[in-house]
């Protein structure tokens, strides 16, 4: 098993149950999550030794975050406590043709107002096999744009594999702003979760010619030409039939083995799709860290993501054995 | 924006959550609704100045009705309080092949026992642009058959547009009884929600010949010949795949522009279909009152109805902007 | 109407709501059920005079079982109270591609530790038309293997029709163990719920040749040749699209009339599939006991099973009239 | 054990949870109860063979009433099904200084609109030891005033002990109306639940002189002089500290043994006081029917009532053993 | 009835149910409230024409605030929509000896970041009888210290009665800061809710000599000497037996009639004490605006506050009639 | 901070909410607890490094136990997984005069069927400061009587302080059986939670003479004479006003300083008293391990116990700071 550190912001999500609206209800569900925290929990579920680095306030919500992580076997040694508040967001669950509706209230959070790297980086990365972070961290503030670069450099210098999820969010910053930052980050990255939209709009790679055999291969190869240090790209293709029914296929590309696709999962009904991408990343990384072949890794990662869609919350709640059993079982029979 | 009055009975609905039966449960959901009240709320959501006229008892259920209306921005100036009781009905939610099951307990309600029009009609219709009422009002009692006619006459005389939803309910009265009453009402109507069944069974229009180009056009034209005052007919076509999955298409006919159809919505899963027709009427009327073209109006109305199916309760909870965004978004992606 | 006795173990089922996991929740749903108890309740719903024989502890869970049965009109005259505990099991509801997950905690239950038949059999079977039991009873303990045989012999001797549901559970005993016991039981059986897997693996009937016209007819005829006392076989064919969507078709075979199939039900969404097979048996037996023709019986039984899937709990909650209305209504329209 | 029949109306009670108001909530608790039904359930809990006679509609609420009674071991042989509706009432739970608030919606119920005694009285009273009814039955309609008298006469003629609970409700009829009716009923009564207010205001007994040794003895003796057939009077004295805290003492008077008082129970907090009086009657009647001495009977009845206050619903959920254990245990220690 | 404007911040309160902790739960109750909004709702309940002025974001939480106010009959004409966020706070309910625990997350709210008075003051105060505001408004930001003074001046100039609740919160600002601001506000105030702590620590009035007849009279007279424009002072005395049990007494002082006390309410159990002070202010102001004598006003206000403690949320849910009935009823009997 | 190991059985508790009965409900609350696990969590909350040793099955309930412990910062390094089942028990919450009702279903649990000490004791006790266990462990089985003795001997030999809680349960074994075992355990014990009943009935110490100054001092001194190795005794005195209201006082005795009492806590209402004794032990041990004086230790321990009564579940959810703040705050004021 590997030693893992992930770092990012973790938020409280307040949400409705399906069929109700925030303006009409007297209670809300609350869960805690964030891209890097979700990947941390996935990898801990699969047996790795994982620590999540972030900063949360010294109040009951910060305490709730700590309990959440600990209960999923993630170390909180590098979870700083202090600062003004926990970022939150609000979600009305989607139903059928009506998509989920989300708005954020994350400005001024304990993580967002950090101006300096408050961790001792030699401690943070000591004996760490892999460091995972996403583009959202850099979107949080101007200060974080620099700190994110500094972190991946330090991780690389400390001998970690660096895993990066582009995770572009248009509401947080422009494509230009994001592109500028990830240009600085990608030279230190080993594994990268990115799709063809990222190649086109963030990295300015020209659109694939119409006669290209496989578009995704084209974009991954182009990105690999620019950043030859990136050995591995992966992404999901999500076919949105409705907010309650998606089809999900995973893709992985390795510099040696080229592109491999998973089977397609029919996810119907969807209980909660938030964190589905993080469960995918966690599953793929687990396969890679375990030395599995690409097909095994992408099947496992996509299955982990499909399973995540069947439970409430941002968090993949399944062990390696459960994901594997799910892959083997095919579809939906009672296990008794 | 227009000034609107709707008038009708409003009931308390007690219902189960999906998968349970009334005879086995220890609590029930309660919501308040009725055709005209639901249209009132839709139009208030869309920005009109709306008043709902009815009569409810002077007890906590009457109070709940008032709060319900006020919280949706509908004036209760003409909501009389008094009389014996609030009508109620009970519903077991449908699931898949099993349809919802409903029974009514509305006899003797404060509205049903009214024998005289207790509103000052010149006040009720003062400066009102449009008066909306449905055939259910006349079905409530023998006295109401006359009062309904009197109301539409007075509205017309006061210069209101009169909007009428046939809304035939076989459990409340016979086709003959209903037909006799609506024959008296339709001469005062401008906009009419009606389908081909109403033409056939209530108005006695002969069945469309097999070679007619479009059946609905045939029936609407026939009705228009009888009641040339009616400029506008509209209806939905509902394809019931199951109680959890319907397909919904809207149709609108104008004496000048003929028939226009909306796109078809896949509603799956259905959270609650009660009030879906009223949301449609509210949406169509909003388009017409706003001076939109038929296609915009019918698209908007059908989308409003589709949205209503995704929330609990009789009430369309969406604003004009939300309905328009839904129309534009297509299907089911998270908005963040 | 007939007088019915069923006998078997009844368990408490603790379960999650869809989308949650046992390891993360602070409350569980609890219902009570077991194959024979579920058949008892179905037949009581349909108007028969039914008694359920079992043994439950003298504590609040035993009391809960009694109330459950009584509230469904099943006599508890032969429900013994005593012994150490009520067997329980735990279920995480399945969603989409993820099947339900079940584990049992039934060892040492009041029923399982019985070593002697504690009922006075002449009282138990007095005036009884039909005695129903399943193969699970014999799987509970070594002592129960003998007691089960003794019971069906006694029932037969007392003039009862004997109804038997093979209901093989691989987690409870081997195919060889089960086969040995049912070989002793089947000579006393009149009606038998069994499928082609039972024929193949429990009774050792050779696989159907590839040119056989209808496989199920082949197996039923073979079984009938061995046990000519069995006049009637029946089974469902379940097509598992996912844990949330099944297709269900019923089949019945009579020595005189051969095989008859029901229409196929699309069950989507599934609220709770536990007890679906028992609702089917109850429905089929009701048809047979009522003297209906095979087509009516199998249509009714399959419809009863489809309805069961639309409610929580092991228990079919529908009356004969409701099942018949459901059959007649087709699919999913509101009844008001 | 005795054979018991009670007869009266049973209603659905819709209520809030503590701290909420009907006009602001989206679901309500529902339970079923009525004075005579509650006494029936109490006596069935204590081991008697009990039947409850009433009339409920043939809908899901009527079905719910049946299940409620059956689950508590009360026979529904004489529970007629038909008529327009089930009477309902609504309650906001009281808290501290704020008393519970109740309003009724019982007009036009299936029971209230009965004009003839629809039971075969010789069957109803066959082999019955005791018939229990309350004054509320006569308050339901003018027709019921006569039918109530007819029923007690017939019960008496059939050899039953007649038990009567005055249960005067000022909202249903005047003291004069009630007094006139109970004057006709009391000559047939053996056991009577009544207090000094009933003596004063319904029977017109002059106020006790100030020097009387015990006021209650005075009133009971006066009533006994008028109706020497009544051997037994009983009542509770309730000291209302607040809606959450009552003190309850039972009193019983027998023509031979005079007045006996129970110990006083501190009921704090009160979970639900509705049905507390019926649990008291049920407990006292159980003692008398069991041949216990007055002290045992009144202690048991008062303890049963105190226990009722600790559970939701109208229904005493405790067995004879549980009431006795409660009496013996004193106050509030865990039993493990 | 009077025309009323109140102005202040309104927050979302997220809270636990009794006996749980924020760090361990998966859902929270949400209600909306703030001192001035709560007073607005109380006065609207009592029949006044009330408008609440504030600023909330243009998202679902802002929408929820609007619905909350409208449903309680408060006009949202002056409720601005815009700015970054709605202030929130979190509360763990207190139980017995353990007090409630609260922490705020209100920095950066739409109201707090206002730098200019965005209302047209001549419209805001047009025909207004009374303007009510509290010291919390000035505590929100440095800008609000000036704006608060400006508002009371403008209200006074427009002919309004000015009502002010000192409401000092030590977590928001120091006594010195608060004192400086209220010195500027009090010269324009007519009615003032303040206690002896405010006199001592905010206004620097010397401690009452030990031989003073009545301490509260001493402090109110001293304050009146400094601010002779203040005709009326009022406050509650709260005796905290525990978080579940308080005793509450109201006091009112008028320049002509001196000090009058209410009866003392035993509030046990407390459902929710937040908003209890605002319900008191609302009740007292209603009495004064209605021209009642001091004793009636203080009894009504204190009863309104006691009632508020019996319901969840910040909001007094009772009408004038209900408060009066409560006052008359004394304590805790069922009303049926 | 100290390194702590506790060892014992942990059970699932299924319980009702107040005012309901197990035989009538469709869901139950579930929490996990046991004496030694509860003490482990308390000490982890207070900052110690704690491990809990036990054995749970390899199923979802075992997983739930692991998550429960981890989420409270307790190490599961010595939590074995395997064996047949998790012990459970069922509880109906007590209300007022009605005490809670509990029954156990713990036979055959993974812990109870252990026949050998499966931990490597030199690892288990490595660097451990204090080992805590209770008498319940020995009551679980005959094998555990010996294993318990073996464990305390090994702990002592490894240099641990041994802490023992007598915790006699009459339903599990006789006083004689218990007495025989604890006679073997106490010679190795340093700190002992025991009361005068234990001295009298388990150790056979003669009853205190009537003229003894302090009974508890007498019994502790007598026990100390027999087991001079025990330096410290402690216990609570619980005055049960009702199941909803207890008074709690702590007592501690040290061989040098004699007896010290805490202040008395009024616990009203009680949310959940299970685990109250363990919270007391945890609090006292924390004081002792922290080197506090007796008065501080007993005040802290009793306050921790009082706080535990205000939350659901077996688990003390409060940190050292929160307990200290509670001690300082006195009673029940909001903290904002």
User: A89: domain CATH number?
Assistant: 3.40.1190.20
Q: Does A100 touch chain B (CB under 8 A)?
A: yes
Q: Is residue B26 part of a domain?
A: yes
Q: What per-residue confidence (pLDDT) applies to C336?
A: 47
Three-state SS across chain D? CCEEEEECCCEEEEECCCCCCHHHCCEEEEEEECHHHHHHHHHHHCCCEEEEEEEECCCHHHHHHHHHHHHCCCECCCEEECCCCCCEEEEECCECCECCEEEEECCCCCCCCCCCCCCCHHHHCCCCCEEEEEHHHHHCCHHHHHHHHHHHHHHHHCCCEEEEECCCCCCCCCHHHHHHHHHHHHHHCCEEECCHHHHHHHCCCCCCCCCCCCHHHHHHHHHHHHCCCCCEEEEEEEEEEECCEEEEEEEEEECCCEEEECCCEEECCCCCCCCHHHHHHHHHHHHHHCCCCHHHHHHHHHHHHHHHCCCCCCCCCCCHHHHHHHHHHCCCCCEC
Q: Is residue B36 part of a domain?
A: yes
* E64-93 average pLDDT score: 98
Q: What per-residue confidence (pLDDT) applies to C155?
A: 98
Cα gap A88→E89, rounded to integer Å: 12
Q: Does A89 touch chain E (CB under 8 A)?
A: no
Nearest Cα to E90, choosing from E104, E77, E78, E79?
E104
* A260-280 average pLDDT score: 97
From chain A, pick out residues whose CB is under 8 angstroms from the CB of C243.
331-334
For E276, phi and psi rounded to 5 degrees? -65, -40
Q: Are strands E88-92 and F161-165 parallel, antiparallel or unpaired?
A: unpaired
D282 neighbors D163 (Cβ within 8 angstroms) = no
Return the SS3 of E150: helix
pLDDT tens for chain D, 336 residues: list them.
Answer: 999 999 999 999 999 999 999 999 999 999 999 999 999 999 999 999 999 999 999 999 999 999 999 999 999 999 999 999 999 999 999 999 999 999 999 999 999 999 999 999 999 999 999 999 999 999 999 999 999 999 999 999 999 999 999 999 999 999 999 999 999 999 999 999 999 999 999 999 999 999 999 999 999 999 999 999 999 999 999 999 999 999 999 999 999 999 999 999 999 999 999 999 999 999 999 999 999 999 999 999 999 999 999 999 999 999 999 999 999 987 665 554
Q: How many CA atoms lie within 13 A of D214 on its CB side?
A: 10
ipTM above 0.85, yes or no: yes
Cα gap C269→C95, rounded to integer Å: 10
How high is the mean pLDDT of chain C?
96
Nearest Cα to F280, choosing from F254, F260, F251?
F251
Number of H helices, E strands in chain C: 11, 14
**Local structure of residue E206 (DSSP, 8 states):** P
Q: Which residue has the tokens 């086709």?
A: B175
Which chains would you list as touching C if contact means 3+ CB atom pairs under 8 Å?
A, B, D, F
Q: Does E67 touch chain B (CB under 8 A)?
A: yes
Cα gap E275→E39, rounded to integer Å: 9
Q: Is the pLDDT of residue A4 over 80?
A: yes
Residue A120 buriedness (CB in 10 A; 0-12 / 13-18 / 19+): exposed
Q: Does E309 touch chain D (CB under 8 A)?
A: yes
Cα gap A23→E86, rounded to integer Å: 13
Q: Which of D14, D18, D99 to mutate to test the interface with E (most CBs of E within 10 A)?
A: D99
Q: What per-residue confidence (pLDDT) applies to E329?
A: 87
Tokens at C71, concatenated? 């509230």
Q: How many CA atoms lie within 13 A of C80 on its CB side?
A: 21
Nearest Cα to C94, choosing from F64, A15, A329, A100?
A329
Q: Is residue A336 part of a domain?
A: no
Q: Is residue C336 part of a domain?
A: no
Read off the pLDDT band of F329 (50, 70, 90).
Answer: confident
Q: How many residues does chain D have?
A: 336
Question: Could you tell me which residues come within 8 angstroms of residue D272 by beta carbon, excluding any fewer than 6 positions away?
Answer: D93, D308, D309, D311, D312, D313, D314, F19
Nearest Cα to B250, choosing from B263, B239, B240, B233?
B263
Q: How many CA atoms lie within 13 A of D262 on its CB side?
A: 29
Q: Is residue F310 part of a domain?
A: yes
The C-alpha angle with vertex B111 and arms to B105 and B112, in degrees rounded to 5, equals 60
Q: Does E70 touch chain B (CB under 8 A)?
A: yes
Cα gap B224→B231, rounded to integer Å: 8
Q: Does E172 touch chain D (CB under 8 A)?
A: no
Tokens at F78, concatenated? 């010595």
Measured CA to CA in angstroms, residue B225 lies from B134, B167, B219, D23, D246 at distances of 21, 21, 10, 48, 73
Cα gap E222→C262, rounded to integer Å: 91
Read off the pLDDT band of F336 (50, 70, 90).
Answer: very low
Cα gap F22→F32, rounded to integer Å: 18
Cα gap F248→F277, rounded to integer Å: 10
Nearest Cα to F281, choosing from F263, F304, F262, F260?
F304
A305 neighbors A297 (Cβ within 8 angstroms) = no
Q: Is the pLDDT of residue C335 over 60?
A: no
Q: Is the pLDDT of residue A235 over 70?
A: yes
E324-336 confidence digits (pLDDT tens): 999 998 766 555 4
Q: Is residue A196 part of a domain?
A: yes
Q: Does F126 touch chain D (CB under 8 A)?
A: no
For C167: left if phi > 0, alpha if psi spans -120 to 50, otherwise beta; the answer is left
From chain F, pick out residues whose CB is under 8 angstroms from the CB of D311.
19-21, 95
From chain A, pick out residues whose CB is under 8 angstroms from the CB of B331.
97, 99, 240-243
Q: Is the pLDDT of residue B336 over 50?
A: no
Q: What per-residue confidence (pLDDT) applies to D332?
A: 64
Nearest Cα to C166, choosing from C262, C235, C250?
C235
Measured CA to CA in angstroms, residue C23 lies from A322, F58, F65 at distances of 14, 12, 8
**Local structure of residue B91 (DSSP, 8 states):** E
The percentage of residues in chain F with a pLDDT greater than 70, rounded to a whole number, is 98
From chain E, pick out residues whose CB is under 8 angstroms from the CB of F333.
99, 240, 243
F54 neighbors F6 (Cβ within 8 angstroms) = no
B194-240 confidence digits (pLDDT tens): 999 999 999 999 999 999 999 999 999 999 999 999 999 999 999 99
Q: How many residues does chain F have?
A: 336
D109 neighbors D255 (Cβ within 8 angstroms) = no
Which chains would you list as touching D if contact means 3+ CB atom pairs under 8 Å?
B, C, E, F
Tokens at D135, concatenated? 């004054």
Return the SS3 of E7: strand
Helix (H) or strand (E) holding B237: strand B232-242
Q: Is the pLDDT of residue C60 over 60?
A: yes
Q: Is the pLDDT of residue B317 over 70?
A: yes
- By Cβ distance, the residue of C68, C70, C72 closest to D73 is C70
F85 neighbors F57 (Cβ within 8 angstroms) = yes
Read off the pLDDT band of A336 (50, 70, 90).
Answer: very low
Nearest CA in chain F to C26: F30
Q: How close B30 comes to chain A (CA, Å)?
A: 14
Q: What per-residue confidence (pLDDT) applies to E125?
A: 98
Q: What per-residue confidence (pLDDT) applies to F333?
A: 55
Measured CA to CA in angstroms, residue E196 lies from A84, E190, E204, E237, F122 at distances of 33, 18, 11, 10, 66
Give, rounded to a whole angstrom, the gap between the first and last alpha carbons of chain C: 31
Q: How many domains does chain B have?
A: 1
F215 neighbors F251 (Cβ within 8 angstroms) = no
Q: Is residue C67 part of a domain?
A: yes
Q: Is residue C156 part of a domain?
A: yes
Q: Cβ–Cβ of A19/B306 closer than 8 Å?
A: no
Task: Provide the 10 A C-beta neighbour count for residue D329.
Answer: 13
Which chains would you list as touching F if contact means 3+ CB atom pairs under 8 Å?
A, C, D, E
Q: Is the pLDDT of residue F99 over 50?
A: yes
How high is the mean pLDDT of chain A?
96
Q: What per-residue confidence (pLDDT) applies to E160?
A: 98
Cα gap B264→B266, rounded to integer Å: 7
Query: What is the residue range of E169's domain?
Result: 3-329
Q: Does D336 touch chain F (CB under 8 A)?
A: yes
Q: Which residue has the tokens 């993630």?
A: A74
Read off the pLDDT band of F125 (50, 70, 90).
Answer: very high
For D291: left if phi > 0, alpha if psi spans -120 to 50, otherwise beta; the answer is left
Provide the strand spans (E) within C106-262. Answer: 130-134, 161-165, 191-193, 232-242, 245-254, 258-261
Torsion of CA A133, A138, A143, A147, to 10 degrees: 30
């Amino acid at each position: 098993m590997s030693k893992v550190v992930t770092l990012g912001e973790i938020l409280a999500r307040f949400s409705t149950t399906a069929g109700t609206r925030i303006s009409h209800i007297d209670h809300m569900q609350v869960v805690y999550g964030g891209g890097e925290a979700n990947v941390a929990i996935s990898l801990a579920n699969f047996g790795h030794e994982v620590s999540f680095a972030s900063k949360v306030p010294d109040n009951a919500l910060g305490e709730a975050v700590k309990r959440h992580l600990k209960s999923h076997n993630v170390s909180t040694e590098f979870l700083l406590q202090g600062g003004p508040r926990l970022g939150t967001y609000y979600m009305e669950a989607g139903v059928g043709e009506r998509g989920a509706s989300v708005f954020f209230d994350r400005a001024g959070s304990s993580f967002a107002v950090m101006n300096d790297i408050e961790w001792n980086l030699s401690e943070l990365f000591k004996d760490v096999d892999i460091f995972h972070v996403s583009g959202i961290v850099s979107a949080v503030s101007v200060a974080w744009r620099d700190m994110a670069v500094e972190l991946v450099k330090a991780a690389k210098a400390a001998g970690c594999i660096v895993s990066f999820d582009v995770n572009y969010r248009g509401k947080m910053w422009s494509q230009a702003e994001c592109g500028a930052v990830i240009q600085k980050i990608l030279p230190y990255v080993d594994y990268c979760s990115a799709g063809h939209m990222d190649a086109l709009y963030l990295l300015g790679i020209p659109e694939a010619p119409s006669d290209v055999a496989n578009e995704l291969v084209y974009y991954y190869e182009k990105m690999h030409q620019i950043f030859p240090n990136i050995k591995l790209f992966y992404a999901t293709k999500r076919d949105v039939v409705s907010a309650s029914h998606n089809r999900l296929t995973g893709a992985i590309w390795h510099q040696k083995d080229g592109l491999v696709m998973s089977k397609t999962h029919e996810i119907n009904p969807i209980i909660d799709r938030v964190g589905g991408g993080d469960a995918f990343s966690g599953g793929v990384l687990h396969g890679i860290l375990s030395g599995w072949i690409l097909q095994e890794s992408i099947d496992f990662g996509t299955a982990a993501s499909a399973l995540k869609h069947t439970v409430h919350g941002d968090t993949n709640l399944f062990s390696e054995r459960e994901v594997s059993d799910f892959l083997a079982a095919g579809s939906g029979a009672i296990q008794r």
